Structure 1
Amino acid sequence: MITADLHTLSGAYALHALADDERTAFERHLDGCPTCAEEVAGFTATAARLGLAAAEPPRTAVRDDVLRRIVAVRQDSPRVRSTVRRGRGTGHARPLSRCALAACLAAAAVFGGTAAWQYERAEEARDLAGRAQRNADDLAAVLAAPDARTRTARLPGGARGTVVVSASRDAAVFVSSGMAEPPRGKVYQLWFDDRGTMRSAGLMDPHLAGQTVLLGGPVDKATGMGITVEPAGGSGEPTSTPLAVMEFPT
């Protein structure tokens, strides 16, 4: 049973904190209340900003030290019985047999290859961490921009999407909640709507119902954005009817 004034539930709705009956009633109310729709958009964008602000990446020194150790520290190899045997009564070591020498050379090649593999993996980890940090910084800059404008719309299946646009940053962010997982082998693709021409803006994670995505590329002259279902890996142009087309806020 709902006893609260529906106008007071916008914050709880944006944070997905309503019971099922309250959420259903509020969504019906939301369709005819521009004031609550504007509040939900603002609360959703603010929640995304706070979520990013709460995330604290590890200190650079810690990350660099871990990556350095990946390359420098090797796993101990198992101990084996010595292949060097002393001659009777001479005290001199016998030379290694051909098989033993071949085994040593093979081991050296393996360890050398392992070190090279570890170095390549460390370089990949550095590159991935750097790109993730740059993406997070760019995303936070859009959400925190003084001229950031938001617009929220209902998406198919009861999902909701909020787009945040900053003219000064020439960038946009899409915040989704309640997105159903796309069909197997498919992915949600985002597009800039350049006055009727769709320009790819990146892919969404198909396994996350709620996520915050920095649209790839400048806003430029785009008037809105669209969402389509595409084959895994994305498409050069839309191959299906858009699930939604949202106009950018002005």
Structure 2
Amino acid sequence: MTTMDLHSMTGAYALHALPDDERAAFERHLAGCASCAQEVAEFAATAARLALASSAPARPEMRERVLHRIGTVRQVPPSAAPLERVRRGAARGRGAARWALAACVAAATAFGGTAVWQYERAQDARHDAARAERQAEQVAGVLAAPDARTRSVRVAGGAGTLVVSAGRDRAVFMASGMPEPPSGKVYQLWFDDGGTMRSAGLMDPGRSTQTVLMRGAVDGASGVGITVEPAGGSRRPTTAPIALLGMPA
């Protein structure tokens, strides 16, 4: 499946019309494609609006017309037998109408709920893509900063490089060839604030090579540490650091 094929699936995805394999492939693409996320959000929002019930007030002249007809149209009294048939027919008609109305409401509710869910998913993907784009810009800003300084270290059989920009007050950690942490564990980055460790974010446990924008400002930290923590991270280090780096001069 080509990227062009994936770009053409926005409408079908918004209407929940893709088979499972294509939907899964498209959602992986959607997480990194801001233009598709925007298009899906627009399609889903339109579908949700169409699925919701709407009403419009009657025109003022309609009331006058109905009142006029009441006073001028003669009503013919029905006989008892035809009236009974009419009543039975009306009862059957009302029953059928109620079933039809219930079916329509159920269908509109189901479709509306699906459309709203798809819209929320698209919005989430759009926000994720925007956040990833902002982080990429911040990483590039730190790496290209005129005052950027670096320090490298061996980490668990791989290599790590710390890049710090004092002017931007941000740091980036670049890992290469690091093995995956044990199952259920994650590498966590820390700023060393004079012996007190402050969490600076988690690394992706499924990637051996990655670039991480460390969370928060450097704020005068004296160094950076890396520990192995339970999935989701810890408020304080629970293991001895596998690497410690002083801030580059």
Q: State the match for 1:149 in structure 2.
A: 149
For 1:161 and 1:125, the matched residues in 2 are separated by 30
CA gap 1:61/1:242 in 2 versus in 1, 3 angstroms: closer
For 1:111 and 1:221, the matched residues in 2 are separated by 54
For 2:236 and 2:172, the matched residues in 1 are separated by 20
Say if 1:71 and 1:122, in contact at 8 Å, map to a contact too.
no
Q: State the match for 1:113 in structure 2.
A: 113
Q: What SS is found at the alignment partner of 1:209?
A: coil
Q: State the match for 2:164 in structure 1.
A: 165
Say if 1:145 and 1:166, in contact at 8 Å, map to a contact too.
yes
After superposition, where does 1:226-237 map in structure 2 within 5 Å?
226-237=225-236
Shift in Å at residue 145 of structure 1? 0.3
State the one-letter code of the partner of 1:202. Answer: G
Task: Please report the RMSD computed on the Cα atoms of aligned residues, expressed in angstroms.
Answer: 2.0
For 1:191 and 1:129, the matched residues in 2 are separated by 26
1:74-123 deviations in whole A, cap 9, x for unaligned?
Answer: 8xxxxxxxxxxxxxxxxxxx673543332222111111212221222222
| 5+ long unaligned stretches in structure 1 | 1-56, 75-93
State the one-letter code of the partner of 1:213. Answer: V
State the one-letter code of the partner of 1:166. Answer: S
Identity %: 60
State the one-letter code of the partner of 2:146. Answer: P
Q: State the match for 2:217 in structure 1.
A: 218
Match of 1:64 among 7, 30, 38: 38
After superposition, where does 1:15-54 map in structure 2 within 5 Å?
none
CA gap 1:143/1:168 in 2 versus in 1, 3 angstroms: same
Q: What SS is found at the alignment partner of 1:140?
A: helix
Q: State the match for 2:137 in structure 1.
A: 137
1:139-186 deviations in whole A, cap 9, x for unaligned?
Answer: 110001000001111122x21100000000000000011111111111
Q: State the match for 2:204 in structure 1.
A: 205
CA gap 1:228/1:185 in 2 versus in 1, 3 angstroms: same
State the one-letter code of the partner of 1:222. Answer: A
Say if 1:142 and 1:173, in contact at 8 Å, map to a contact too.
yes
Q: Tell me the TM-score normalized by structure 2.
A: 0.64
CA gap 1:185/1:62 in 2 versus in 1, 3 angstroms: closer
For 1:243 and 1:217, the matched residues in 2 are separated by 21
Tell me how many residue pairs correspond in the alignment. 173
Greater fraction of residues in helix: 2
Say if 1:194 and 1:224, in contact at 8 Å, map to a contact too.
yes
- Say which one has the larger Rg: 2
For 2:43 and 2:102, the matched residues in 1 are separated by 30
Q: Tell me the TM-score normalized by structure 1.
A: 0.64
Segments ≥4 residues shifted beyond 6 Å:
none
| 5+ long unaligned stretches in structure 2 | 1-31, 49-92
Which gives a bigger RCO, structure 1 or 2 (Cα 8 Å, sep 6+)? Answer: 2
